[in-house]
């Protein structure tokens, strides 16, 4: 049954990690390593069933392949999930046991933070393996990727504004931002610095208050965010918020935000395009965090990271061009761009020089 699923999703390898003493139940999914080692974060979540955990890790790891490919990175796609409650089940032993499993893959999979995991947890993983990114700056790592994800999202936004309105003047437009967490708060700060009108909502009332007090955003109720008269809808909390119930309510001309898997399904993606709304594909827009951690492999450098964020602007431009030229929705154009890169590099017959094993220059344990 699992191999039938893998045949459909195209995964190379799925590793079940079990250490009862440490209470570890984790799954590492390596989707595709044609472009390079599989890099993707570890999510800790109290999955209701083991099947839910398998489904999640397969979906997320596949997404990482596309994100890396469309972003021009020499990385493959992978992801890990730890089954457990991040508020109750964390321990040094758990993360060190997990680190040993990551290490056993010898660089085929490189991990990082994701939902439920922070840089302190990664400290323990880092004690067992070098194949981890997003480690603390004191070790020569890059730290929290969220500000880079936010900055990269603004680059993607500028490309979208350019196509839709013929200018990139972020401050001229209004935004409905759903979720002011790590990425969202930084994102609204950048929008407000450019003078934009910004509406925000979040289930966390303190976060909303901070966005209002510190950055001058306007708060709206959770469900009202879909009805706000704003030029851009920016999902920056959860996936699946562009769906059959919300789409008819959206008044925006552009959808551009940092959340993963924004479109509930492909039919909705088609309907978004039919309604003349420009969708900036999520995995291309939110690649800033991945770009940032990827730089740890050959020695982290903040300036290089900031320059790299700009490529998001050009990647989006290319996606919009393909969409226009081929007459296909932007989400399909992004997939096509990613698949073409993987296929063309996969066909290279030249020998690969040097070690394929990532080196992690300039880091110390
Ligand atoms: P976060 O947990 O810090 O922030 C999410 C925010 O959304 C929280 O403030 C939460 O209260 C809020 N939220 C949850 N449910 C909500 C709802 N129904 N309505 C409104 N607000 C709600 O997470 P983050 O790191 O800021 O990531 C945000 C999104 O961006 C996620 O989808 C994540 O997968 C994606 N993403 C993040 C990064 C990164 O670098 N952190 C990179 C790529 C993609």
**pLDDT tens per residue, range 96-136:** 999 999 999 999 999 999 889 988 999 999 999 999 998 88
CA distance 234 to 184: 9
Torsion, Cα of 26, 22, 115, 222 (10° steps): 110
pLDDT band (50, 70, 90) for residue 238: confident
Predicted confidence at residue 2, as pLDDT, reads 86
Quote the distance between the C-alpha of residue 100 and its chain's center: 25
The Cβ of residue 89 has, within 10 Å, a number of other Cβ atoms equal to 16
pLDDT band (50, 70, 90) for residue 350: low
Q: Please, how many CA atoms are within 13 Å of residue 160, restricted to the half-sphere of its CB?
A: 29
Residue whose pair of structure tokens reads 């920016």 in the numeric block? 234
| pLDDT tens-digit map of 135-177 | 888 888 888 889 999 999 999 999 999 999 999 999 999 999 9
Q: What integer is the mean pLDDT of 244-257? A: 98
Predicted confidence at residue 365, as pLDDT, reads 66
* Nearest C-alpha neighbor of 188 from the set 203, 208, 206: 208
Q: Which residue's CA is minimally distant from atom 43 of ligand 1? A: 286
184 lines ligand 1 (CB under 6 A): yes
φ and ψ at residue 203, rounded to 5 degrees: -70, -20
Residue 351 has pLDDT above 80, yes or no: no
149 lines ligand 1 (CB under 6 A): yes
Model-wide pTM > 0.95: no
Let me know: does 214 contact 188? Beta carbons within 8 Å.
Answer: no
Residue 61 has pLDDT above 70, yes or no: yes
Predicted confidence at residue 353, as pLDDT, reads 56
Predicted confidence at residue 91, as pLDDT, reads 98
205 CA distance to ligand 1 middle (Å):
14
Let me know: does 98 contact 122? Beta carbons within 8 Å.
Answer: no
155 lines ligand 1 (CB under 6 A): no
Predicted confidence at residue 1, as pLDDT, reads 79
* Nearest C-alpha neighbor of 310 from the set 291, 323, 295: 291
330 CA distance to ligand 1 middle (Å):
23
Write the CB contacts of 340 (distance below 8 Å, at least 6 apart in sequence): none
Quote the distance between the C-alpha of residue 296 and its chain's center: 17
Domains of the chain: 2-64+75-132 (3.40.50.10860), 146-337 (3.40.50.720)
| pLDDT tens-digit map of 191-227 | 999 999 999 999 999 999 999 999 999 999 999 999 9
Residue 355 has pLDDT above 60, yes or no: no
3-state DSSP percent of the chain in helix, strand and coil, to 5: 50, 15, 35
CA distance 224 to 203: 12
| pLDDT tens-digit map of 294-333 | 999 888 998 999 999 999 999 999 999 999 999 999 999 9
| pLDDT tens-digit map of 270-285 | 999 999 999 999 999 9
Residue 286 has pLDDT above 70, yes or no: yes
Q: Of all atoms in ligand 1, which is nearest to the CA of residue 184?
A: 26
Predicted confidence at residue 152, as pLDDT, reads 98
Q: What is the DSSP string of 94-120?
A: HHHHHHHHHHHTTTSEEB-B-TT--HH
Predicted confidence at residue 352, as pLDDT, reads 55
| pLDDT tens-digit map of 15-53 | 999 999 999 999 999 999 999 999 999 999 999 999 999
180 CA distance to ligand 1 middle (Å):
7
CA distance 56 to 34: 22
164 is catalytic: no
């Amino acid at each position: 049954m699992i191999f039938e699923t893998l045949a459909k999703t195209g995964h190379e390898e799925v590793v079940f990690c079990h250490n009862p003493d440490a209470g570890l139940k984790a799954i590492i999914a390596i989707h595709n390593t044609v472009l390079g080692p599989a890099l993707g974060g570890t999510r800790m979540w109290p999955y209701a069933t083991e099947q839910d955990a398998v489904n999640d890790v397969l979906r997320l790891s596949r997404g990482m392949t596309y994100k890396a490919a469309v972003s021009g990175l020499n990385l493959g796609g992978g992801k890990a999930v730890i089954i457990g409650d991040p508020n109750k089940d964390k321990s040094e032993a758990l993360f060190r046991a997990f680190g040993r499993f990551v290490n056993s893959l010898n660089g085929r999979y490189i991990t990082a933070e994701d939902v439920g995991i922070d840089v302190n947890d990664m400290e323990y993983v880092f004690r067992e393996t070098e194949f981890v990114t997003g480690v603390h700056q004191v070790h020569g790592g890059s730290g929290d990727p969220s500000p880079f994800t936010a900055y990269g999202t603004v680059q993607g936004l500028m490309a979208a504004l350019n196509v839709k309105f013929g200018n990139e003047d972020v401050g001229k437009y209004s935004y409905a931002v759903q979720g002011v967490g790590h990425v969202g708060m930084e994102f609204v700060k950048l929008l407000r610095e450019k003078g934009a009108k910004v509406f925000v909502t979040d289930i966390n009332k303190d976060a909303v208050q901070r966005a209002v007090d510190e950055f001058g955003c306007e708060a709206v109720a959770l469900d009202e965010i879909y009805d706000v008269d704003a030029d851009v809808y920016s999902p920056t909390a959860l996936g699946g918020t562009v769906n059959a119930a919300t789409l008819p309510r959206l008044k925006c001309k552009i959808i551009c935000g940092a959340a993963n898997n924004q479109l509930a399904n492909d039919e909705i993606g088609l309907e978004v395009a039919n309604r003349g709304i420009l969708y900036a594909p999520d995995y291309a827009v939110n690649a800033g965090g991945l770009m940032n951690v990827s730089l740890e492999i050959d020695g982290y450098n903040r300036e290089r990271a900031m320059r790299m964020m700009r490529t998001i602007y050009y990647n989006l431009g290319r996606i919009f061009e393909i969409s226009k030229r081929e007459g296909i929705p932007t989400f399909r154009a992004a997939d096509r761009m990613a698949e073409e890169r993987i296929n063309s590099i996969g066909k290279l017959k030249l020998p690969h020089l040097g070690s394929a094993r990532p080196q992690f220059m300039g880091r110390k344990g």
